[in-house]
Amino acid sequence: MENKGWMIPEEQWEMPISITPDGHWITLREFADQKMVTLSSRSLAEQLAPEQQAELVKERIAHRPDFKVAMIGIGLVNQERAMQEVGEQTPAGRTLINIELRTIARVIELANEGNREYGKQ
């Protein structure tokens, strides 16, 4: 995919994008700095079990204390409720997981394209 000037927001560099086999979070910055960018953006998400995906997304939401998202049929979901929905893997929680996994895939694509400009657009 062609990079049309999108830059990776600074906060994304410090958020986890996957987990190591021994249970440590890997941030986007660590991933890029260790030249792991040869992995596809899909491979990370597919490697994780649903429970690990939920834990990853809860950790990413925890990095955003002002997290809020409006969901049709549910209303405004704050950080606490989002983490609960994700942890219980409710339909709303699975939607939030899918959104975060797509976000992770996109920032990895941008990192693969050499997009290292922190927070600039």
120 occurs within a structural domain: no
User: If DSSP codes are grouped into helix, strand and coil, which group holds residue 53?
Assistant: helix
Per-residue model confidence as pLDDT tens digits over 30-80: 888 876 544 555 556 667 899 999 999 999 999 999 999 999 999 999 999
Give the global pTM: 0.82
100 occurs within a structural domain: yes
82 occurs within a structural domain: yes
28 occurs within a structural domain: yes
Residues 97, 100, 106, 108: is their CA dihedral positive or negative? negative
121 occurs within a structural domain: no
1 occurs within a structural domain: no
Q: Could you identify the residue written with the tokens 């190591």?
A: 20
Question: Which residue segment(s) compose the domain that 55 sits in?
Answer: 12-112
Number of domains making up the chain: 1
- Nearest Cα residue to 31 out of 98, 103, 104: 104
Per-residue model confidence as pLDDT tens digits over 18-38: 988 788 899 999 888 876 544
